[in-house]
């Protein structure tokens, strides 16, 4: 199943608020970033975090099976997010009385009198993929659990001038995130529908006694998290504008920190985006937003 028709809208959600105008690191608006779709470690939220962030995100939606005998609605699922990546700078300096180089942390570094680099937190795209799940199997078997780890990593880049002189180094670092995804479904006999639940929980360990610093928690959080679901042999029912016979079932869907909408061509029902931003069914990117979603902050 293809997510192509939903990708541009989902990318816009992924980078909503990534850099706020004016796009400078010194701008007050950019000192408190990553406000949307944050799924932080459970132990942090229930302990040190004091409820400032949530450790869970839940989507409930309705699927109408195809009308032919033996219909077996199946889903593909993508949970997409940004993983925080810390970008730090060190300037190369000569140690006193020697030719050896040492490095000292700096906020800004200019190379060859032109390119200006800054220390900055970046977002790295990450996807958790679950494929070919039968909703009838979920109804029969109950809860299915999938465990994921978004891995840690680090990269060091030497910063040299055009002549080859070493001016410093740039380090990018990422921290691990442990995620549990729970899928379940139930049959709503009266309406002839299936209710699908997708639950995301951040189970990353948070040591007892660690200070309640939001920035530290963001290192281990899903940022701008959202869920894309494609269905075959069935169609999603709009929760915003359900048909009369599905209105009660739509109202009873429990969505936590996310809003499911239909995406793709008008009138279609095979793709759903569960977004941390309130959207209407079949959203589209305005023509003026077809270019880069954000510019890199370098000032």
**Residues 184, 198: Cα–Cα separation, whole Å:** 7
Question: Taking the mean position of all CA atoms in its chain, how far away is CA 131?
Answer: 18
> By residue range, what is the domain housing residue 57?
6-84+124-153+174-286
Residue 5 confidence (pLDDT): 75
Q: With the CA atoms of 276, 277, 279 and 281 taken in that order, what torsion angle do they form, in degrees rounded to the nearest 10?
A: -20
217 within some domain: yes
Percentage of the chain modeled with pLDDT above 70: 86
Cβ–Cβ < 8 Å for 139, 187: yes
Q: Which pLDDT band holds residue 289 (cuts at 50, 70, 90)?
A: low
270 within some domain: yes
169, pLDDT greater than 80: yes
* Apex 93 CA angle, 88 and 99, nearest 5: 140
Q: Which one has a higher pLDDT value, 241 or 295?
A: 241
Backbone angles phi, psi at 272, to 5 degrees: -135, 135
Residue 294 confidence (pLDDT): 46
Q: Which pLDDT band holds residue 120 (cuts at 50, 70, 90)?
A: confident
Q: Which pLDDT band holds residue 30 (cuts at 50, 70, 90)?
A: very low
Residue 49 confidence (pLDDT): 59
Which residue from 143, 250, 254, 230 is spatially nearest to 188, judged by alpha carbons?
250
Sequence-ordered strand ranges (E) for 254-298: 259-262, 271-275
Which residue from 18, 144, 138, 146 is spatially nearest to 79, judged by alpha carbons?
146
100 within some domain: no
235 within some domain: yes
57 within some domain: yes
162, pLDDT greater than 90: no
Q: What is the pTM of this model?
A: 0.86
132 within some domain: yes
130, pLDDT greater than 90: yes
Tell me the per-residue pLDDT of 217-243, one tens digit each, with 9 for 90 and over. 999 999 999 999 999 999 999 999 999
From residue 267, give the alpha-carbon distance in Å to each of 176, 253, 262: 40, 22, 9
Backbone angles phi, psi at 277, to 5 degrees: -110, 135
**Residues 83, 238: Cα–Cα separation, whole Å:** 30
111 within some domain: no
146 within some domain: yes
Tell me the per-residue pLDDT of 184-195, one tens digit each, with 9 for 90 and over. 999 998 889 999
- Check residue 95 and report its DSSP letter: P
- Check residue 20 and report its DSSP letter: P
Q: Which pLDDT band holds residue 21 (cuts at 50, 70, 90)?
A: very low
Number of structural domains, the chain?
A: 1
Cβ–Cβ < 8 Å for 181, 229: no
Mean pLDDT over 276-294 rounds to: 74
């Amino acid at each position: 199943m293809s997510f192509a028709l939903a990708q541009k809208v989902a990318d816009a959600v992924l980078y909503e608020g990534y850099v706020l105008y004016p796009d400078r690191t010194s701008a007050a608006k950019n000192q408190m970033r990553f406000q949307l779709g944050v799924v932080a470690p459970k132990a942090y939220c229930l302990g040190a975090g004091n409820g400032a962030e949530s450790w869970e995100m839940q989507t409930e939606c309705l699927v109408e099976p195809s009308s032919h005998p033996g219909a077996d609605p199946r889903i593909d699922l993508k949970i997409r997010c940004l993983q925080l990546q810390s970008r730090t700078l060190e300037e190369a300096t000569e140690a006193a009385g020697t030719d050896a180089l040492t490095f000292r942390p700096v906020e800004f570094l200019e190379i060859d009198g032109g390119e200006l680099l800054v220390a900055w937190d970046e977002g790295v795209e990450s996807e958790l993929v679950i494929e070919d799940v039968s909703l009838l199997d979920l109804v029969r078997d109950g809860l299915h659990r999938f465990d994921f780890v978004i891995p840690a990593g680090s990269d060091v880049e030497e910063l040299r001038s055009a002549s080859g002189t070493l001016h410093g180094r740039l380090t990018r670092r990422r921290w691990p995130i442990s995620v549990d995804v729970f899928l379940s479904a139930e049959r709503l006999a009266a309406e002839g529908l299936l209710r699908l639940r997708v639950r995301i929980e951040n189970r990353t360990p948070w040591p007892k006694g660690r200070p309640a610093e939001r920035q530290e928690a963001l290192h281990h959080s899903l940022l701008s998290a959202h869920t894309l679901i494609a269905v075959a042999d069935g169609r999603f029912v709009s929760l915003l504008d359900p048909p009369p016979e599905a209105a009660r079932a739509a109202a009873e869907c429990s969505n936590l920190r996310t809003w499911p909408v239909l995406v793709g061509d008008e009138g279609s029902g095979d793709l759903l985006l569960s977004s941390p931003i309130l959207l209407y069914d079949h959203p589209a990117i305005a023509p003026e937003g077809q270019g880069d979603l954000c510019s890199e902050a370098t000032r």
